[in-house]
Structure 1
Amino acid sequence: MNWKTIQGWLTHLHPDKWSGALIILLIFLALGLLSSHLLKRAIRLVVARDRDHRLDRMSVGFLAKVASAFVWIMILMLYAHMIPALDRLATALLASVSVASVVFGLAAQSTLSNFVAGFSLIFYRPFRLGDKLKITAPGGVESGVVEDVSLGYTVLKTSDNRRVIMSNASISSTTMINLSAADQRTICVIPFSIDQDADIDAARALILQSAAQSKAIEEVLGCPVTGLGPATVDLSLRVRCATPDIAAEVYTDMLEAVKKRFAAAGMTVQSS
């Protein structure tokens, strides 16, 4: 390739010509795609190495979107500065920047409020990715898992695989219940009745032995006498479980386990 050929190509790349402006635009688009790809790849590598989960996934995802948008804004600004026609247009717009800013602010008020609200969600962190929220939507109360927080909207995935999409400004100003942030531990009370002439201490020991063998019980709180009937003595086994669902399983399991242990010891027991 000789010098004249190179000069010919450089002539086509002159920003004053439409062909040169188009070629430069393609080059800038390629640079933008490459920069955005490298940025996302770098963020994925950082998240993959964070095996202790010290980084908040929602904050990382939101800031990645902000960084990607910033990259494209810079690409467009550099391109507009290189093309004389666009540069002159930008200079003319700056002469009326006060009017333009007011018009732009009014036109993009909701968009800007969603963008700023996204930063408030990241800063105050009322919820994280994967948290289950209960919110009031136009169709009624909805419960869903936080699936994504973009520059303008928050997406919740419901149990029936629907997507509830709310603007960041709306969800930051509404009252919500973070079901994942609440302490799910539950006290499970399992009542038993024994005969009046039965040995209370022996019955209590058998009940506590059954509870001690259950891996689903986090803590045994006690087994006091809670009532005296005409022919029975009422005992209540009180245990702490991780979640209400586990507590429901423990309730039925303890009824069966205590019944078998009492039967082996020659005692009778029934649930109150």
Structure 2
Amino acid sequence: MHFFEDHSNELIISGILVLIIIVLRIISTKLVRRFAKSSDRIEHRTNLVIKYIHLLINILACIGFIIIWGVRPKDIVLAVSSIATVVGVAMVAQWSILSNITSGVILFFSFPFKIGDTIKILDKDYPIVGEIEDISAFYVILKSTEGEQVIYPNNLLFQKGISIVHNFEEEKEFTD
């Protein structure tokens, strides 16, 4: 019973933080969904961006709880540096995955092309022309003009020039 008496301030502040987390998650979800609806975004991409935002909110909440419950700054620095070291080593090995996820989020908000568009990737070594079949967190699936299915990483879409090919059928006069 002494726990509640000794830590009443921390419990109240933690309760307020939980309410703030819930409100932030609801507001961020509504804002992203409103943005997606107004710009005709794809539902699974919308859900993916919402998950990333919720992850960020949860990380900030953990930091808040650590501060509220009075963990010594020296211990926080030690824990964060240890975690950063492990994550840093893992990210060096997995930098392309993080790069593709980041590119996927940027593609969601900038949305320079959509499913059904025909694009040309301006790569001098391996140029690709294809119709976009799907856009995911890690890659874009294209159907090439030869009928091949090409899976192209999102991060390379930002490194290469891309042009959207418009197939306007012009009426031409037939001559013999």
Q: TM-score range by the shorter chain?
A: 0.5 to 0.7
Q: Which residue of 2 aligns with 1:229?
A: none
Question: Which has the larger strand fraction?
Answer: 1
Aligned residue among 75, 84, 101 for 1:115: 101
Q: Which residue of 1 aligns with 2:45?
A: 62
Q: TM-score, normalised by structure 2?
A: 0.54
The answer (yes or no) to whether the contact 2:141–2:149 under 8 Å persists in 1 is yes
Q: Which residue of 2 aligns with 1:167?
A: 153
The answer on 1:126 being equivalent to 2:112 is yes
CA distance in 1, matches of 2:38, 2:126: 35
Cα deviation digits, residues 81-129 of structure 1 (max 9, x gap):
xxxxxxxxxxxx8672131122122122111111001111111121111
CA distance in 2, matches of 1:135, 1:95: 41
The answer (yes or no) to whether the contact 1:133–1:179 under 8 Å persists in 2 is yes
Q: Any gaps of 5 or more consecutive residues in structure 1?
A: 1-45, 47-52, 75-92, 185-242, 256-270
> Which gives a bigger RCO, structure 1 or 2 (Cα 8 Å, sep 6+)?
2
Q: Which residue of 2 aligns with 1:96?
A: 82
Aligned length: 121
Q: TM-score, normalised by structure 1?
A: 0.37
Question: Which has the larger helix fraction?
Answer: 2
Equivalent position SS for 1:123: helix
The answer (yes or no) to whether the contact 2:49–2:105 under 8 Å persists in 1 is no
The answer (yes or no) to whether the contact 1:145–1:156 under 8 Å persists in 2 is yes
Cα deviation digits, residues 28-48 of structure 1 (max 9, x gap):
xxxxxxxxxxxxxxxxxx9xx
> Post-superposition shift, 1:173?
2.1
The residue identity in structure 2 corresponding to 1:125 is F
Q: How is 1:23-62 mapped onto 2 (pairs within 5 angstroms)?
A: 55-58=39-42, 60-62=43-45
CA distance in 2, matches of 1:102, 1:115: 17
Q: Which is higher, the Rg of structure 1 or of structure 2? A: 1
Q: How is 1:2-17 mapped onto 2 (pairs within 5 angstroms)?
A: none
The answer (yes or no) to whether the contact 1:135–1:141 under 8 Å persists in 2 is yes
Cα deviation digits, residues 119-174 of structure 1 (max 9, x gap):
11111121111111011358632211111111111111123321121110101221
CA distance in 1, matches of 2:134, 2:128: 16
Cα deviation digits, residues 167-192 of structure 1 (max 9, x gap):
10101221011013xxx6xxxxxxxx
Mark the CA change 1:133 to 1:56 in structure 2 (over 3 Å): closer, same or farther.
same
Q: Percent identity, aligned pairs only? A: 25
Aligned residue among 133, 137, 149 for 1:147: 133
CA distance in 2, matches of 1:69, 1:116: 10
Equivalent position SS for 2:161: coil
Coordinate RMSD, CA, aligned: 3.4
